[in-house]
Structure 1
Amino acid sequence: MTLPLDLHLHHRPWAVFSHDRRYRYKLTRDWNAELPRMGIVGHNPSTAGEHRNDRTVCRLIDFAKRFGHGGFDLYNLYAGVSTDPKLLNLLRDPIGPDNDDHLAQLADEHDFILLAWGGYADPHRARTVTARLWHAVEPRGGTLATLGWTSSNQPRHPLYLASTTALQSLTATPHHDYADIDDRWSQLIADTDLDAPTHVRRAG
């Protein structure tokens, strides 16, 4: 008998939880060490852990394989574990005390980062995290990507998207003022709380 959400990978599964397991800061999945790995930022953790995939993680594995990657590190805007993102506000600290440190690690280790948190995110939190990621990867010529946009101009969640969904990317280009990028990217990377590079502030 097969359990579709159980983990069937041949490489190391790994997850970083808080000691009380109320927060999951990082989830790693590897299947091909010869291919590049990608970073992903979702909304919040659900039931996936060291030895189990939930539906979202299974879907992300499918997309990552199609995009030519051999694994990923999954982080989240909110580290609070919940099967219902609408109930995160019941937590005293839905973001998690160490989550921003882990997101900084993501920005240091990955030059390609997929944003995939859907429409439930607080817009200010989404902008803050995206701007920090962009601020980190832009000098290295890195890329942020989405699987399209929600009606509220947030990156779409992967769960119910067609397997043929195309990436929409923002890649840093030397000596470019980014004035012609999609306005949704301009809004997402423009966090006025950060001292972003001048050419990013001019975007859009």
Structure 2
Amino acid sequence: MAIIEKSIIKTEAYFSEDKKHRYLLKKEWDKNKKKAVVIMINPSTAQEIVTDHTTMFVINNLSKLDYGSVDIVNMFSKVGTKLKLGVEMKELVGDETDEFISKSVEKADLVVIAWGKGADNSKRITERQEQLKQLLEPFKEKLHQIGEIGFHPLCPQIRNQWTLVKFK
């Protein structure tokens, strides 16, 4: 006889009024388990229905690590598949970005810094990383990264199996 397993992933997406910024993407599949926050670079096309590879890998890996929900936030809230760094910071970081990050981190059991290393040569990204490190300082005990060098979830070496270490 077949066994039926059912699951529902509850999703909420928080955008600016003009939808140019996504502040938060919440995914919950088991409210009785721990909650994680994953901080990446910028939001792509994922929203309440449409998902992307990054979101899929985040959910898959956190589920394997026995988490039941995730808040996905980004250092830059501007929606787009390519981050254009030649504009003003206020265009890349929406008015409510840091507030959403702070509130999510405060409620989380784990915070995964997953902005990767690919943009380490950008002054704009380095500047924003420093701002976020200051914002996250009160929560440093919760901060982890994927692997020793801090991978992004799309990195082929870790897509299917995360090893979390304290954020450096």
The one of the two structures with greater contact order (alpha-carbon pairs below 8 A, sep at least 6) is: 2
Letter in structure 2 aligned against 1:109: K
Equivalent-residue separation in structure 1 for 2:142 and 2:162 (angstroms): 18
1:123 matched to 2:126? The reply is: yes
More strand by share: 2
Equivalent residue, structure 1, for 2:3: none
Q: Give the C-alpha shift of residue 88 in structure 1.
A: 4.3
In structure 1, stretches of 5+ residues that fail to align are: 1-8, 171-184, 186-204
Report the CA distance shift for 1:52/1:88 in structure 2 as closer, same or farther (over 3 A): farther
Equivalent-residue separation in structure 1 for 2:133 and 2:147 (angstroms): 15
Q: Give the C-alpha shift of residue 34 in structure 1.
A: 1.8
Name the % identity: 25
Alignment size in residue pairs: 155
What is the aligned counterpart of 2:100 among 102, 121, 133? 102
What is the aligned counterpart of 2:67 among 69, 93, 115? 69
Note the alpha carbon deviations across 1:19-76, whole angstroms, 9 max, x for none.
Answer: 1110000000111122111111111000000111111100101111121101100110
Structure number with greater Rg is 1
In structure 2, stretches of 5+ residues that fail to align are: 1-6
Equivalent-residue separation in structure 1 for 2:86 and 2:147 (angstroms): 26
Equivalent-residue separation in structure 1 for 2:81 and 2:162 (angstroms): 25
Q: Which runs of 4+ in 1 moved over 6 A?
A: none
Q: Give the C-alpha shift of residue 11 in structure 1.
A: 3.2
Note the alpha carbon deviations across 1:96-153, whole angstroms, 9 max, x for none.
Answer: 12111111212321241001112226112112202321x2224xxx321111355xxx
Give the TM-score normalised by structure 2. Answer: 0.82
